[in-house]
Amino acid sequence: MGLLTRLNGVRQQAADNNLQDNSLEQKTEKILNGIEASPNQIDYPGSVLKAFSSLTGSDRGAVLLPDSGKKIFIPWLVNNLDRTTARKLNIPFSDDPEKNMNTRISIVSNVSDYADFFSSRELELTDNILHINLTEENNIHKDSTGVILLTNLDRMILQDNQLTPSLEKFCSFFSEKLRESRKIIGNLPEADDPVPLQQWLNVRKDSDSAIIILDFALSVEKIISALPGLDVFRLQKDIVSLVKVISGRMGRVYDLKDSRALLQFPAEVFPEPDLYLHQLTHSFRTYFYNIPGPPYFNAEFHKWPEERKALEKKLSKFF
């Protein structure tokens, strides 16, 4: 009787393990099949982090994107980590194979390894860290399209032997898609506007043109409300970069760095103001998944150089 009981116990444990394996495998397919956002949208990184969070059950973490100029990964969206951690979370590119940040998937129990990137308070609250480099290769510093960090994964999920295969599948699914989402604005120079505003305006000082002061603060608020934890500074830069793409070769764009941008078009190619705002709103909406309803832009239209003095007065604090 005792032997039979033990045999049944072994069979039940095997059945439970098999059920658990199938459960995570099925969960993986369900999450991937349920992705609605497109890699042709700038806020796609938010959907990537949400998918990894759904798979692992962790709602504490971040998605970081590469800054090739500074050779670091910097946060694009941070969920439920304190502000100090959000500021410190700049992970350098690394060639050192001994470091967690240079492997594709790492589950880190010695969280003190991340003391340079987490606040002391946050580190005390952290039991483990899942560090994922979204890449098809192991040459992380060169090929990674982003980093996913998640903390405090449950022991049950950590012990599931389908966790690593599921994470590998997620990496393969998202790595190239994340790269595509950044290509929308990724071909633009990474440097900030290299000249003072007054010098920028003087490039076409005598040419008849239309100048628009575009205020996109409300659009920023709408996106942040849909993606809490999204870095406002990164979002503002992404929006300005997108406006540059939409404006094309004929338009010039200057980032005022306060959720506003200055646009300039030759007078002969600029459409009616209402038509321009309609075209901008339509184009903008297609590039963001997480905008509840149409975006809103407050815009002032001015004639240049006819209204030069009035414009310079209005923008005097930028000179």
Residues 47 and 154 both lie in one domain: yes
Q: Do 164 and 300 have their domain in common?
A: no
pLDDT of residue 47 exceeding 50: yes
Residue 11 confidence (pLDDT) above 50: no
Query: Contact 79/59 with Cβ under 8 angstroms?
Result: yes
Q: What is the pLDDT of residue 18?
A: 47
Question: Quick one: tokens of 37?
Answer: 């956002």
**How many whole angstroms from its chain centre is CA 148?**
11
Return phi, psi of residue 11, to 5°. Answer: -60, -40
CATH, residue 302: 3.30.70.270
Is residue 3, in this structure, part of any structural domain at all? no
Single out the residue of 106, 118, 44 nearest to residue 77, CA to CA.
44
Are 180 and 203 in a shared domain? no
DSSP designation for 80: S
Residue with the larger pLDDT of the pair 267 and 96: 267
Expressed in angstroms, the distance from the first to the final Cα of the chain is: 90
Q: Is 130 exposed, middle or buried (0-12, 13-18, 19+ CB in 10 A)?
A: buried
Q: To the nearest 10°, the Cα dihedral for 294, 300, 301, 302?
A: -160
Among candidates 191, 93, 212, 86, which has minimal Cα distance to 141? Answer: 93
d(CA 220, CA 243): 13
Whether residue 90 sits in one domain with residue 238 = no
Give the separation between CA 115 and CA 138, rounded to whole angstroms.
24
Helix (H, G, I), strand (E, B) or coil at 106: strand
Q: Residues 157, 295: one domain?
A: no
For position 137, what pLDDT does the model report? Answer: 57
Sheet holding 252-255, edge to edge: 252-255, 260-266, 209-215, 298-304
Asked if residue 145 has pLDDT above 70, the reply is yes
pTM of the entire predicted model: 0.84
Closest CA to 73 of 116, 128, 133, 122: 133
| pLDDT tens column, 18-33 | 444 458 999 999 999 9
Cβ atoms of 302 and 213 closer than 8 Å: yes
Q: Are residues 269 and 224 in the same domain?
A: yes
288-295: average pLDDT: 82
| Residue 210 resides in a domain | yes
**Mean pLDDT calculated for residue range 28-42:** 94
Residue 113 confidence (pLDDT) above 90:
yes
Percent of the chain with pLDDT over 70: 85
Inter-residue contact 283 to 297 (CB < 8 Å): no
Report which DSSP code applies to 194: -
pLDDT of 186 higher than 80: no
pLDDT score for 7: 43
Token pair 């001994």 is found at 98
162 and 252 together in one domain: no
Is 272 among the domain residues?
yes
What is the C-alpha separation between 170 and 206, in angstroms, rounded? Answer: 54
228 CB burial (10 A radius; 0-12, 13-18, 19+): exposed
pLDDT band at 157 (very low <50, low <70, confident <90, very high): very high
CB contact set of 121 (below 8 Å; sequence gap of 6+): 82, 84
Q: In the prediction, which pLDDT does 99 show?
A: 57
Q: Say yes or no: 86 and 211 in one domain.
A: no
Range of the domain at 298: 197-318
**Between these two residues, 101 and 89, which has the higher pLDDT value?**
89
Residue 1's pLDDT band (boundaries 50, 70, 90)? very low
CA angle 156/107/148 to nearest 5° reads 105
In the chain, the number of structural domains is 2
Side chain identity at residue 246, one-letter code: I
The last residue of a domain, from among 131, 155, 184: 184
Q: 3-class DSSP state for residue 131?
A: strand
Statement to judge: residues 170 and 228 lie in one domain: no
State the pLDDT at residue 102.
58
Read off the CATH number of the domain in which 156 is found. 3.30.450.40
Q: Are 248 and 173 in a shared domain?
A: no
